[in-house]
């Protein structure tokens, strides 16, 4: 068999450069000519901020294991814990620190209520598939609750009811139809007119006895359990290559692990015989957490079906209770003014709920699929022993746990009653991924405000230029190291986001979120003389 994937090594420092860069420039004013990006709240996620620090070492030498698990999110650690408990030798390779990526930055509702899903599944497939989806997620929820209890994981776990609501009387029938579908697949669903929210709703669907938690604390607790069960965990270890041989060869920095099974649990696979790039669409959300007085607190987890959609729940950080609010989804890297989304969200929250100061703000992304089911398992018979998990459509806490269980069952050759509905070999419509161009093109470096970034064209190459707070330009190739799409500057997170498959890079070019594994290449700015000539169109300088 040929190499499954051959990709170069990225820095994988694991330090959250996104947060550092954003923190340095929080509340920054971008000069007289500049876009004034003053945003409320501290950059960063409230869950990460209240989670303990971890310090697992990096992989620094060659080794062996039964199973290598790439990625310590909910999928990776679920798989790892089950397999370590079963006595397999497991190595978890995490490019950053545990709990700092998609799972750790989610709204962390542990629920089978996924907006309007069951009617869709019955209509698009059949009742049997909808029942198995329900079973997978019920098992996922149950598994999380059991582990939190058995392993004594301190993660602010709270049982809560989940509500899907509309404020539009014309959409009442959609809620009613979802309630009927939910009852058919075995949920104790109830229709209410009013959600327990301080604003009017037209119709609401309630699922009792769901739950919420702090996902970063949960992952860190689960990682500890993996270690206690004999598993090995490596942080700041970005895998750059997965290659078949007699055993799979998994390369990260100076180390290569030879393993029998490899689980690519990197949110979107960073390697593998089948690309999921065209079968998925990265969807991004912005989130904010506000101080809230106890008398104004909401009780439950809420998601609206109207546009713009909002999601709400309570949470907490070290300073007390918080209202966590999520804004509507947008395609990653396809919005040139993400900062405006934070202002819109804050305005909506203040109009509808009684909140105090904005405490935190962050962005997060996940992957949608055409049929709203994840892809989980062995993507090809030709790559026996290689597993992927992706496409959780924004509901990967329960689905991701179910995915981890399914992969662990497959590795142990155990039966699993929902793995087949997540079949990663099923077809997907061509062109589902709606990649796009950069949203950050500027004519010249002078058009880039201090603290911000823009993409300039020089001859054939596109340069991603970020000006630090002193106005010093930092120049990178704007070509995403995954498949070459041109990145967009995210003016709120201060990251370079890829509008094709969702890779995210810090302002300095280092990888935050894959599938890219290599940093954006450093470039030199053309000299003033060359720039002047380029402007007059007399040359096509490339550096």
Ligand X SMILES: Cc1cc2nc3c(=O)[nH]c(=O)nc-3n(C[C@H](O)[C@H](O)[C@H](O)COP(=O)(O)OP(=O)(O)OC[C@H]3O[C@@H](n4cnc5c(N)ncnc54)[C@H](O)[C@@H]3O)c2cc1C
| Interface positions, 378-437, toward ligand X (CB under 6 A) | 392, 394-398, 400
Listed residue (505, 476, 479, 507) closest to 494, CA to CA: 507
Out of ligand FES, ligand X, none, what residue 179 binds, judged by CB under 5 to 8 A for its kind, is none
Least gap, CB of 301 to ligand FES (angstroms): 31
* Residue 501 touches which member of ligand X, ligand FES, none, C-beta under 5-8 Å by kind: ligand FES
Q: How far apart are CA 196 and CA 201, in angstroms?
A: 9
Site for ligand X in 324-353 (CB under 6 A): 326
- Of 54 and 439, which has the nearer Cβ to ligand X? 54
What is the SS3 assignment for 395? coil
Given the complex with ligand X, which of 265 and 355 has the nearer CB atom?
A: 265
Distance separating alpha carbons of residues 159 and 148, to the nearest angstrom: 12
Residue from the set 44, 73, 300, 449 that interacts with ligand X by CB under 6 A: 73
What does the alpha-carbon distance between residue 200 and residue 206 come to, in Å, rounded to a whole number? 16
Q: Report the residue number, 254 or 484, with the smaller CB distance to ligand FES.
A: 484
Q: Report if residue 108 touches ligand X, rule: CB under 6 A.
A: yes
Minimum distance, C-beta of residue 240 to ligand FES, in the bound complex (Å): 15
One residue of 93, 185, 233, 475 binding ligand X per CB under 6 A:
93
Q: How far is the CB of 335 from ligand FES (least distance, A)?
A: 16
Total residues at interface with ligand X (CB under 6 A): 39
Burial code of 380-416, b = ≥16 C-beta within 10 A, e = fewer?
A: eeebebbbbbbbbbbbbbbbbbbbbbbbbbbbeeeeb
The token pair at 196 is 């327990």
Instruction: List residues binding ligand FES (CB under 6 A).
Output: 480, 482-485, 498, 500-503, 515-516
Q: Which stretch binds ligand X (CB under 6 A): 103-111, 125-133, 148-156, 166-174?
A: 103-111
Residue from 21, 67, 74, 222 in contact with ligand X (CB under 6 A): 74
Q: Which stretch binds ligand X (CB under 6 A): 34-42, 69-77, 353-361, 453-461?
A: 69-77
Least distance to ligand FES, CB of residue 133, Å: 28
Smallest distance, ligand X to C-beta of residue 216, A: 10
Instruction: Count Cβ neighbours within 10 Å for each residue of 109-133 and write b for 16 or more, e otherwise.
Output: bbbbbbbbbbbbbbeeeeeebbbbb
**Residue 70 touches which of ligand FES, ligand X, none (Cβ within 5-8 Å per kind):** ligand X
Nearest distance, CB of residue 291 and ligand X, angstroms: 20
Q: Is the Cβ–Cβ distance between 338 and 322 less than 8 Å?
A: no
8 Å CB contact between 136 and 275: no
CB 474 within 8 A of CB 496: no
Nearest distance from residue 94's CB to ligand FES, in Å? Answer: 20
* 270 is a contact residue toward ligand X (CB under 6 A): yes
| Interface region with ligand X, contact rule CB under 6 A, candidates 15-23, 91-99, 443-451, 452-460 | 91-99
CB of 159 to ligand X, least distance (A): 15
Count Cα neighbours of 93 within 13 Å in the Cβ-side half-sphere. 31
Quick one: what does residue 498 bind among ligand X, ligand FES, none, with the CB cut-off 5 to 8 Å set by partner type? ligand FES
Q: 255 contacts which partner out of ligand X, ligand FES, none, CB within 5 to 8 A by kind? A: none
Q: Name the residue nearer to ligand X (CB basis): 333 or 454.
A: 333
Among 17, 25, 79, 101, binds ligand X (CB under 6 A): 101
Q: How far apart are CA 220 and CA 215, in angstroms?
A: 9
Residue 183 Cβ vs ligand FES, minimum distance, rounded to whole Å: 41
**From ligand FES, ligand X, none, which one binds at residue 500 (CB under 5 to 8 Å depending on kind)?**
ligand FES
Find the shortest distance in angstroms from Cβ 425 to ligand X: 19
Q: Which residue of 166, 204, 214, 267 would you call a contact of ligand X, by CB under 6 A?
A: 267
Contacts of 129 (CB under 8 A, 6+ apart): 121, 421
What is the rounded distance in angstroms from the CA atom of residue 350 to the CA atom of residue 345? 9
341 binds, among ligand X, ligand FES, none (CB under 5 to 8 A by kind): none
102 to each of 370, 375, 475, 518, how far by Cα in Å? 20, 17, 28, 19
The half-sphere exposure of 535 on its side-chain side, counting CA atoms within 13 A, is 12
Q: Tell me the sheet residues that pair with 130.
A: none
Closer residue to ligand FES in complex, CB, 51/520: 520
| Nearest distance in Å: CB 51, ligand X | 13
SS3 call for 456: strand
Residue 185 CA: distances (Å) to CA of 123, 160, 182, 449: 13, 21, 5, 54
Spatial neighbors of 15 by CB under 8 A, at least 6 apart, are none
C-alpha 318, offset from chain centre: 24
Residue 483 binds: one of ligand X, ligand FES, none (C-beta under 5 to 8 A by kind):
ligand FES
For the segment 467-526, give every residue that binds ligand X (CB under 6 A).
Answer: 514, 517
DSSP per residue, 149-178? HHTT--S--EEEEEEEEES-GGGHHHHHHH
Q: Could you tell me the smallest distance in angstroms from the CB atom of residue 208 to ligand X? A: 17
Return the closest-CA partner of residue 348 out of 287, 293, 395, 301: 287
Residues 84 and 230 sit within 8 Å (Cβ to Cβ)? yes
Residues that bind ligand X (CB under 6 A): 70-76, 93-96, 101-103, 106-109, 238-239, 265-267, 270, 285, 287, 326, 364-366, 392, 394-398, 400, 514, 517
């Amino acid at each position: 068999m040929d190499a499954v994937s051959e990709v170069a090594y990225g820095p994988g420092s694991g330090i959250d450069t996104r947060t550092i860069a954003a923190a340095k420039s929080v509340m920054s004013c971008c000069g007289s000519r500049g876009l004034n990006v003053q945003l409320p709240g501290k950059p960063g996620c409230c869950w990460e901020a209240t989670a303990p620090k971890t310090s697992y070492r990096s992989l620094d030498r060659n080794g062996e294991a039964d199973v290598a698990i790439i990625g310590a999110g909910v999928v990776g650690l679920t798989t790892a814990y089950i397999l370590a408990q079963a006595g397999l030798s497991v190595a978890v390779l995490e490019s950053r620190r545990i709990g700092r990526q998609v799972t750790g930055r989610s709204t962390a509702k542990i629920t089978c209520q996924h907006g309007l899903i069951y009617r869709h599944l019955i209509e698009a497939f059949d009742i049997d598939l909808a029942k198995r989806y329900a079973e997978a997620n019920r098992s996922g929820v149950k598994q999380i609750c059991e582990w939190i209890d058995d392993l004594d994981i301190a993660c602010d776990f709270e049982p809560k009811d989940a509500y899907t609501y509309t404020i539009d009387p014309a959409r009442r029938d959609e809620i009613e139809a979802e309630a009927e579908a939910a009852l058919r697949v075995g949920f104790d669903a109830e229709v209410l007119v009013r959600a327990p929210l301080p604003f009017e709703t037209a119709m609401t669907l309630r699922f009792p006895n769901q739950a919420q938690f702090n996902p970063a604390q949960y992952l860190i607790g689960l990682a500890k359990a993996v270690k206690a069960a004999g598993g090995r965990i490596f942080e700041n270890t970005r895998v750059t290559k997965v290659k078949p041989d007699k055993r799979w060869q998994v390369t990260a920095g100076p180390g290569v692990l030879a393993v029998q099974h490899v689980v690519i649990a990197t949110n979107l696979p960073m390697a593998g015989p089948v690309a999921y790039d065209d079968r998925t669409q990265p969807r991004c959300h912005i989130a904010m957490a506000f101080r809230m007085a106890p008398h104004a607190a909401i009780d439950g987890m809420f998601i609206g079906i109207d546009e713009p959609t909002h999601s709400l729940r309570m949470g907490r950080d070290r300073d007390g209770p918080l209202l966590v609010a999520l804004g509507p989804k947008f395609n990653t890297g396809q919005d040139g003014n993400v900062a405006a989304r934070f202002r819109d969200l804050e305005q909506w929250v203040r109009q509808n709920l009684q909140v105090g100061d904005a405490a935190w703000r962050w962005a997060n992304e996940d992957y949608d699929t055409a049929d709203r089911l994840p892809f989980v398992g062995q993507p090809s018979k030709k790559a026996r022993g290689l597993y992927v998990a992706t496409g959780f459509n924004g509901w990967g806490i329960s689905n991701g746990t179910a995915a981890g269980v399914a992969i662990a069952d497959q590795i142990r050759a155990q039966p699993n009653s929902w793995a087949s509905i997540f079949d990663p070999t099923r077809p997907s419509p061509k062109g589902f991924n709606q990649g796009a161009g950069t949203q950050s093109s500027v004519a010249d470096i002078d058009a880039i405000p201090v603290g911000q970034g823009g993409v300039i064209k020089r001859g054939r190459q596109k340069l991603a230029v970020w000006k630090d707070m002193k106005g010093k330009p930092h120049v990178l190739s704007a070509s995403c190291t995954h498949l070459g799409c041109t990145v967009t500057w995210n003016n709120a997170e201060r990251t370079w986001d890829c509008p094709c498959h969702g890779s995210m890079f810090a302002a300095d070019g280092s990888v935050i979120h894959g599938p890219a594994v290599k940093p954006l290449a450093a470039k030199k700015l053309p000299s003033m003389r060359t720039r002047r000539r380029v402007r007059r169109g007399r040359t096509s300088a490339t550096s």
